[in-house]
Amino acid sequence: MISELLQKSSLFSLLHRIDIDLTNECRLKGCPFCNGPLYQANYERKPRGGPEGLPDEYCLRHSLCCGCDGCRRRCLPSSCLFMGRRVYFSAVIVVVMALRQNRPNGASADELKDMFGISEKTLARWITYFREEFPLSTTWQQLRGRVHSSVNNNGLPGNLLSHFIRHANSTEEGLVACLRFLASDFSLLDSSILME
């Protein structure tokens, strides 16, 4: 079952390695404002929903900072581990939403609370976000042309996850591909929020 994936440290290890690659790609481009060199300036996070005992480095939100005097601006690489400032890991948010949206027998709010300790309030916020805000976001406007038209605005992100799982060799590979896809533009969203 897909929820069991979230108990595997190996999944988070893989997502962590992808985040390192994304950070290195971003660093190689240099500062987007002045072309200066970028240095590591990570944020420590306390993400929820992953397995017990994950190494501390999996809980870092990779971030870079320009080394030029007079600039010193932050540059936030894309991330497969984190979705904006949300407390839960991205993988947990996407899987929980998919379980909730799975028709006709989607998991109830109570079942999700038992499985992941997610409060009804948090779940309601995610549902509202994916129903009302995400479909209208520039992120989704840019991404939607890159997936099959059967992935429509109703049922995000569960339908997106199903799409990637159908085209992957395993459920885990599908989940990782889905998170990579979402990360390909969440960076824009992140940087506008975090660089304030």
DSSP per-residue codes, 5-62: HTT-HHHHHHHHHHHHHHHHHHHHH--TTT---EEE-PEE---BSS-TT--GGGGEE-
According to the binding rule CB under 5 A, does residue 96 interact with Zn ion?
no
Rg (CA), the chain: 17
According to the binding rule CB under 5 A, does residue 39 interact with Zn ion?
no
With CB under 5 A as the contact rule, the residue among 66, 80, 92, 123 that binds Zn ion is 66
Question: Of the two residues 37 and 117, which places its CB atom closer to Zn ion in the complex?
Answer: 37
Site for Zn ion in 167-196 (CB under 5 A): none
Paired tokens of 83:
């979705």
Q: Is 48 exposed, middle or buried (0-12, 13-18, 19+ CB in 10 A)?
A: middle
Which part of the chain contacts Zn ion (CB under 5 A), choosing from 33-41, 52-60, 91-99, 121-129?
33-41
With CB under 5 A as the contact rule, the residue among 16, 36, 80, 183 that binds Zn ion is 36
Output the smallest distance, CB 37 to Zn ion, in A.
8
According to the binding rule CB under 5 A, does residue 38 interact with Zn ion?
no
With CB under 5 A as the contact rule, the residue among 10, 21, 55, 71 that binds Zn ion is 71
According to the binding rule CB under 5 A, does residue 33 interact with Zn ion?
yes
According to the binding rule CB under 5 A, does residue 31 interact with Zn ion?
yes
Q: What share of the chain is helix, strand, coil (3-state, %, to 5)?
A: 55, 5, 40
- Contact yes or no for 195/186 (Cβ under 8 A): no
Which part of the chain contacts Zn ion (CB under 5 A), choosing from 60-68, 118-126, 142-150, 178-186?
60-68
Q: What is the DSSP letter of 149?
A: T
Please report, as ranges, the residues that interact with Zn ion according to CB under 5 A: 31, 33-34, 36, 66, 68, 71
